[in-house]
């Protein structure tokens, strides 16, 4: 083609060419500068800040799915399992897989036999969470529901089954106050420091041993690293770290004894504590009514909670450590120890009981209206003569009593590794001055001497006190775990008995008291004859704790007194009498009489204890003969 | 009539062809990486792109077979055709995500704003070639080229595709400055341009365009909305580090975190998988291609060749620079593709045609002049 067809071609004028070259050079400079800028930027992004960006890219694509670890087991002192872990199946909802949520949720609701609004509420509650996070719609579904869902899974997009370890309570509500329960971590707990390893949705111990020993029981969560795309769809599984099960807790509790205690308590409200006198190990920690654990699974519902809260039997209270009651005549052990040790009386000192004593312008009655006549130390304890101890108390003075009571571990926390351990109260002149800005009145000493007035104690305190009195005077710290073992059986931690020191009080006085306490059970006139067993000698002390002294109740028949005004019944004891092994303390709320209400419970425990010891396994419990009320103490 | 001159073959620009082939191969390999996981498209996109390359080769052959000076007569008919196509796209165009950019030709969806870039270059080169007095252009002399640029600019900005529109303005500015302006004119234009920025911001930009610029200035303000593109692209590029994650191994690209990864953000996929080494190589390829283009311009046999080559080079340069700066977070997200690298037939054919023009000018640099 010839250029002539278009236009005349002018060769560029050399001057102009020079100018053009100059401008091309400028253009080149612009291009070099721009390229340098781009390369610098590239260097900045890829080399200078590359490591940051690779982290961001990894964060984009890697999602960590956690697999809960099976929680450690709880075993009794013989190694028998009390609570184990098993897989449980939860129904979870994945918003990202659900193209048609309304229809699917409707179907699901009918399979789960739930109202659809319940499911919708749960989904709504999680609206703030990232979309890929699964929402738990129902926990621990049964096998039939599971198979139904699995069979229909194609028509239920968005519905998945999640397998999580769950607690298996082999004995139902057994020792439920002590053991506690587990539940989903709450938003407030998540903020607390001790839970910094946990995440929303985790199960943690909420109460009792489950809570206190949570860090041992929880195990280590497994992790699955998933690669996901921008829509959250799983691409492949990259790496899996198996969960590591939690450690096993070997409790000092004895299943058989605990069950015997729970059975013997029946529907009575109260507490049973059994302690090995020479170690402080607790074999029984029973508080009735038992905590209904099922209600707490998946969060307790408000109406149920309110019902439990207002139940006159106080099922929410762990009465062994939280229940503070006047010890009543059980406190005479303290007064007796103080009196003999301080020398204000000796074993032959007698007082005459006419049924009452006048002090100031007030009359202090003995529970036995007709009076005990002349009683010595031994008889006074055996028959629980109030007048004798009024007089002894008067001689001692309140501060002496308080000194001995404190030394026996009363009026302060026991140091048991549980929450809400209450200290009770031992009054003294100093206490009264501080608390009421008032001086101590001597008359008040009389009440305290028989365990009334300001005094209050917990069942665990009295059990430990009894153990100390009969084991030669050592006050042990109550313990409920004797060792913690790893899943492969290695001992991680073991707990040996911890002595909290010797009690004050002479050997001689302790011997006298022990002798008298055996008399309470085995001698005529003793207040706890009902507890007697054929082969074993048992020592003990009954007590009745006045709840209120109301004129309108005077003279009413026992059954006519409204439940909440009835007296509490105590019995604290030990056996065998010659070489004590265990101390058993029973409290029956509003049980009215230590001997008749609390005694049989202790008897059932001893019976089981010695059966087990002699190898007579699980003899069927014969029907307990109805207790014939003997002399009633006040 | 077609008398083939052997010198044409001897003078064929193998260097430019080589550079184009290298970028084309890299681009195709990268396109495979970014689209091989797309399952819902019929013909794989890399296969389509390969067909466009073959079509482009045919167009290059067609272009180099006639002297580039034919454009001096074809320029206004081409310009008229371009305006018609742009109008047609605006009125009847296929609406994709709120923009009317495409004309469906049945076998091909034409995006007329792409050839418009090249046609504007031809038009301006022809105009400046004819009107050049050597004294430099004054303000009034610029009225017609400004009009010639303004018309397609308005039609494209209306689609709305402000990125391509501004690209036209950049090309116009580059070429105008290149042909020599009177000093006073240059100063006036610069001041006027600066004054126009706030006015344009207020009255001409659509809210989404303003938001894009604002997001660019602070992408972390809106990480899931408009800032998402910039953030994800920076993560993709940055996480490539020195040697990259390996071919087909880029997580940002393969797992879909990177938006528009086969078109505007194709470079991010490359940078993620091949790291600094690969990205640097690619940038150098463009750098070389553009410098070579300037060399073609200055060695052209006549001033039309110089202007035309310079115009094509400025078109390729501005596209490459804006796109690279955009995916690396130096400029707001505007829809400007990376020449030869981003998927898209209209863009590819336009750029190949431009490169064909460069080859044309190069091979005729010694042809008879009078």
pLDDT in tens, A167-185: 888 888 888 889 888 888 8
pLDDT at A368 over 70: yes
Instruction: Categorize the per-residue pLDDT at A232 as very low, low, confident or very high, splitting at 50, 70 and 90.
Output: low
- Cis omega before residue A289 (within 30°)? yes
Domains held by chain B: number:
1
Is B65 inside any structural domain? Answer: yes
User: Which helix (H) or strand (E) segment is B363 a member of?
Assistant: helix B345-363
pLDDT in tens, A272-288: 999 999 999 999 999 98
Residues of A in contact with B287 (CB under 8 A): 31-32, 35
pLDDT given at position A1: 42
**Structure confidence at residue A564 (pLDDT):** 79
Search chain A and give the residue with CA nearest B228.
Answer: A230
Q: Is the pLDDT of residue A163 over 90?
A: no
Q: Which residues contact B28 (CB under 8 A, 6 or more apart)?
A: B46, B49, B50, B53
**Burial label, A292 (beta-carbon count in 10 A; 0-12, 13-18, 19+):** middle
Chain B residues in contact with A15 (beta carbon < 8 A) = none
State pLDDT tens for residues A371-421.
889 999 999 999 999 999 999 999 999 999 999 999 999 999 998 888 888
Helices (H), A266-351: 302-310, 319-322, 332-342
Range with the lowest mean pLDDT among A231-245, A351-365, B14-28? A231-245
The residue among B256 and B308 whose pLDDT is bigger is B308
Region of A586 please: left (phi>0), alpha (psi -120 to 50) or beta.
beta
β-strand partners of A233: none
B120 vs A167, higher pLDDT: B120
* Per-residue tokens: A316: 């929410």
Topology of domain A255-304+323-613, per CATH? Answer: Beta-lactamase (3.40.710)
Predicted confidence (pLDDT) at residue B252 exceeds the cutoff of 90: no
For residue B214, being part of any structural domain is answered with: yes
Report the C-alpha dihedral over residues B51, B53, B59, B62, rounded to 10 degrees: -100
Distances (CA, A) of B291 to A36, B277, B294, B316, B324: 14, 21, 5, 11, 17
Closest chain B CA to residue A39: B280
In which band, very low, low, confident or very high, does the pLDDT at A461 lie, cut at 50, 70 and 90? very high
Q: How confident is the model at residue B118, as a pLDDT? A: 96
Give the full edge-to-edge strand order of the sheet including A222-228.
A62-67, A222-228, A234-241
The B residues from 304 to 343 touching A (CB cutoff 8 Å) are 306, 310, 313-314, 317, 321, 324-325, 328-330
Interior CA angle at A497 toward A495 and A502, to 5°? 155
What residue numbers bound the domain in which B65 lies? Answer: 6-35+44-363
**pLDDT at site A395:** 92
The yes-or-no verdict on residue A4 having pLDDT over 60 is: no
Partners of residue A573 on adjacent β-strands? A540, A584
* Alpha helices by DSSP H, B134-258: 143-157, 162-178, 183-203, 207-217, 227-239, 251-254
Residue A628 has pLDDT above 50, yes or no: no
Cα A374 from Cα A353, distance rounded (Å) = 6
Measured between beta carbons, the chain A residues lying within 8 angstroms of B5 are: none
Domain extent listing, chain A: 64-251, 255-304+323-613
* Cα–Cα–Cα angle for A513, A514, A517, rounded to 5 degrees: 85
In a domain, B89, yes or no: yes
For range B205-222, the mean pLDDT: 72
Kindly report the CATH number that applies to the domain delimited by A64-251.
3.90.1310.10
ipTM of the complex: 0.93
Model pLDDT, residue A554: 58
Residue A242: pLDDT over 80? yes
Half-sphere exposure in the Cβ direction for A108 (13 Å, CA): 30
- Cross-chain Cβ contact B276/A46 below 8 Å: yes
**What is the band of A547 on the pLDDT scale with cuts at 50, 70, 90?**
confident
Query: A-chain residues within 8 Å CB-CB of B3?
Result: 1
The verdict on B365 touching A (C-beta cutoff 8 Å) is no
3-state class of B120 per DSSP?
A: helix
Kindly state the average pLDDT of the residues B276-280: 96
**Other C-beta atoms lying within 10 Å of the C-beta of residue B196:** 11
Question: Is there a contact between A31 and B287 if contact means CB atoms under 8 Å apart?
Answer: yes
Return the pLDDT at A169: 85
Under the banding of pLDDT at 50, 70 and 90, the label for residue B340 is: very high
Confidence at residue B115, expressed as pLDDT on a 0 to 100 scale: 94
B174 located within any domain: yes
**Tokens 């250029």 label which residue?**
A3
Q: Which residue has the tokens 């105009």?
A: B127
Tokens of A134: 């699964």
Are the beta carbons of A572 and A463 closer than 8 angstroms?
yes
Question: Span A155-172, mean pLDDT?
Answer: 82
Residue A407 CB partners (closer than 8 Å, separation 6+)? A475, A503, A504, A505
B53: pLDDT strictly greater than 80: yes
In this complex, do B237 and A42 lie within 8 Å of one another by their Cβ atoms?
yes
pLDDT tier at A558 (50, 70, 90 boundaries)? low
**Which residues face A224 on adjacent strands?**
A65, A240
Assign B122 a pLDDT band (cuts: 50, 70, 90).
very high
Mean pLDDT of B321-337: 90
Mean pLDDT, rounded, of chain A: 85
pLDDT at A366 over 80: yes
Is residue B22 domain-resident? Answer: yes
Q: B301 vs A11: CB contact, 8 Å cut-off?
A: yes
Residue A622, pLDDT score: 44
Task: Give the residue among A497, A425, A445 at the shortest CA–CA distance from A468.
Answer: A497
The SS3 of residue A508 is helix
Give the list of residues 6+ apart from residue A141 with CB closer than 8 angstroms, or none.
Answer: A89, A90, A91, A112, A149
Do the Cβ atoms of A46 and B325 come within 8 Å?
A: no
Domain assignment present for B370: no
Nearest CB among B272, B284, B328 relative to A41 is that of B328
Q: Is residue A573 a contact partner of residue A598, using CB atoms and an 8 Å limit?
A: no
Q: Is the predicted pLDDT of residue A28 greater than 90, yes or no?
A: yes
pLDDT at B40 over 80: no
Q: Which sequence positions of A are flagged as catalytic?
A: 329
B58 occurs within a structural domain: yes
Question: How would residue A3 be classed by pLDDT, with cut points 50, 70 and 90?
Answer: very low
Per-state percent for chain B, helix, strand, coil, to nearest 5: 70, 5, 25
Residue found by looking up tokens 């009034």 in the block: B140
What are the DSSP calls for A61-107, one per residue?
Answer: HEEEEEEPPPPPPEE-TTS-EEEEEEEEEEEEE-GGG-SSHHHHHHH
**Angle in degrees, 0-180, between the axes of helices B303-327 and B113-131, rounded to the nearest 10:** 140
More confident residue, A233 or A74: A74
């Amino acid at each position: 083609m010839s250029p002539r067809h278009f236009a005349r071609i002018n060769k560029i004028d050399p001057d102009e060419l020079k100018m053009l070259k100059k401008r091309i050079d400028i253009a080149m400079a612009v291009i070099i500068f721009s390229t340098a800028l781009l390369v610098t930027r590239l260097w900045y992004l890829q080399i200078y800040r590359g490591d940051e960006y690779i982290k961001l890219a990894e964060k984009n694509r890697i999602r960590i799915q956690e697999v809960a670890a099976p929680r450690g087991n709880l075993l009794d002192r013989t190694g028998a399992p009390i609570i184990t872990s098993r897989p449980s199946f939860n129904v979870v909802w994945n918003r990202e897989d659900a193209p048609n949520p309304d229809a699917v949720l409707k179907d699901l609701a009918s399979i789960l036999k739930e109202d659809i609004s319940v499911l919708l509420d749960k989904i709504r509650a999680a609206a703030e969470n990232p979309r890929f996070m699964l929402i738990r719609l129902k926990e621990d579904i049964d096998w039939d529901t599971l198979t139904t869902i699995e069979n229909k899974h194609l028509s239920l997009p968005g519905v998945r089954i999640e397998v999580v370890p769950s607690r298996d309570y082999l004995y139902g509500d057994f020792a439920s106050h002590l053991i506690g329960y587990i539940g989903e971590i709450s938003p407030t707990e998540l903020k607390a420091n001790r839970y910094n390893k946990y995440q929303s949705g985790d199960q943690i111990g909420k109460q009792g041993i489950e809570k206190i020993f949570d860090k041992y029981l929880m195990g280590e969560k497994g992790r699955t690293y998933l690669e996901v795309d921008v829509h959250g769809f799983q691409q492949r599984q990259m790496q899996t770290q198996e969960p590591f099960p939690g450690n096993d807790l070997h409790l000092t509790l004895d299943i058989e004894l605990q069950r015997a205690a729970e059975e013997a308590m029946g529907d009575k409200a109260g507490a049973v504590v059994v302690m090995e006198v020479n170690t402080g190990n607790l074999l029984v920690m029973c508080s009735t009514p038992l905590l209904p654990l099922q209600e707490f699974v998946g969060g307790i519902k408000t109406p149920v909670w309110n019902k439990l809260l207002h139940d006159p039997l106080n099922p929410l209270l762990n009465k062994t450590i939280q229940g503070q009651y006047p010890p009543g005549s059980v406190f005479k052990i303290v007064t007796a120890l103080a009196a003999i040790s301080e020398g204000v009386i000796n074993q032959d000192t007698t007082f005459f009981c006419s049924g009452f004593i006048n002090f100031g312008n007030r009359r202090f009655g003995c529970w036995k209206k007709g009076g005990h006549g002349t009683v010595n130390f031994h008889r006074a304890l055996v028959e629980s003569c109030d007048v004798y101890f009024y007089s002894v108390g008067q001689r001692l003075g309140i501060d002496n009593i308080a000194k001995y009571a404190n030394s026996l571990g009363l009026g302060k926390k026991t140091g048991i590794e549980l929450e809400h351990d209450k200290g009770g109260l031992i009054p003294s002149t100093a206490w009264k001055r501080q608390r009421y800005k008032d001086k101590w009145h001597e008359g008040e000493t009389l009440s305290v001497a028989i365990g009334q007035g300001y005094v209050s104690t917990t069942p665990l305190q009295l059990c430990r006190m009894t153990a100390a009195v009969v084991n030669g005077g050592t006050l042990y710290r109550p313990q409920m775990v004797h060792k913690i073992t790893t899943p492969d059986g290695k001992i991680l931690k073991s707990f040996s008995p911890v002595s909290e020191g010797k009690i004050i009080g002479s050997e001689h006085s302790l011997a006298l008291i022990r002798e008298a306490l055996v008399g309470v059970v085995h001698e005529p006139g003793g207040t706890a004859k009902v507890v007697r067993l054929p082969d074993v000698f048992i020592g003990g002390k009954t007590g009745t704790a006045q709840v209120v002294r109301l004129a309108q109740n005077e003279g009413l028949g026992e059954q006519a007194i409204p439940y909440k005004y009835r007296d509490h019944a105590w019995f604290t004891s030990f056996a065998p009498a010659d070489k004590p092994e265990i101390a058993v303390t029973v409290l029956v709320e509003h049980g009215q009489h230590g001997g008749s209400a609390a005694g049989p419970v202790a008897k059932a425990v001893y019976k089981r204890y010695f059966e087990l010891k002699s190898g007579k396994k699980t003899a069927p419990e014969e029907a307990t003969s109805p207790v014939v009320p003997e002399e009633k103490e006040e | 009539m077609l008398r083939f001159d052997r010198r044409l073959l001897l003078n064929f620009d193998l260097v430019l062809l080589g550079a184009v082939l290298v970028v084309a191969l890299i681009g195709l390999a990268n396109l495979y990486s970014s689209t091989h996981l797309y399952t819902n498209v019929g013909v794989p996109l890399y296969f389509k792109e390969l067909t466009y390359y073959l079509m482009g080769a045919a167009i290059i052959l067609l272009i180099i077979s006639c002297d580039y000076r034919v454009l001096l007569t074809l320029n206004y008919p081409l310009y008229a055709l371009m305006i018609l196509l742009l109008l047609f796209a605006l009125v009847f165009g296929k609406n994709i995500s709120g923009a009317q950019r495409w004309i469906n030709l049945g076998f091909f969806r034409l995006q007329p704003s792409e050839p418009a870039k090249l046609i504007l270059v031809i038009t301006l080169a022809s105009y400046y070639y004819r009107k050049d007095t050597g004294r430099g252009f004054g303000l009034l002399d610029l009225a017609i080229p400004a009009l010639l640029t303004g018309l397609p600019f308005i039609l494209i900005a209306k689609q709305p595709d402000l990125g391509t529109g501004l690209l036209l303005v950049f090309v116009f500015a580059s070429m105008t400055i290149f042909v020599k302006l009177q000093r006073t004119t240059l100063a006036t234009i610069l001041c006027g341009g600066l004054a126009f920025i706030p006015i344009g911001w207020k009255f001409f930009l659509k809210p989404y365009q303003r938001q894009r610029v604002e997001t660019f200035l602070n992408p972390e303000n809106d990480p899931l909305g408009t800032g998402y593109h910039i953030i994800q692209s920076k993560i993709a590029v940055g996480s490539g580090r020195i040697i990259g994650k390996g071919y087909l191994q880029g997580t940002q690209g393969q797992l879909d975190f990177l938006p528009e990864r086969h078109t505007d953000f194709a470079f991010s996929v490359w940078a993620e998988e091949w790291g600094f080494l690969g990205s640097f190589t690619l940038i150098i390829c463009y750098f070389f291609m553009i410098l070579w283009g300037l060399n073609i311009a200055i060695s052209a046999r006549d001033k039309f060749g110089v202007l035309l080559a310079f115009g094509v080079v400025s078109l390729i340069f501005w596209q490459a620079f804006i796109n690279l700066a955009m995916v690396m977070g130096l400029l707001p997200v505007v829809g400007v593709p990376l020449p030869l690298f981003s998927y898209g037939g209209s863009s590819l054919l336009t750029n190949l045609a431009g490169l064909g023009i460069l080859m044309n000018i190069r091979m005729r640099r010694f042809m008879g002049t009078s």
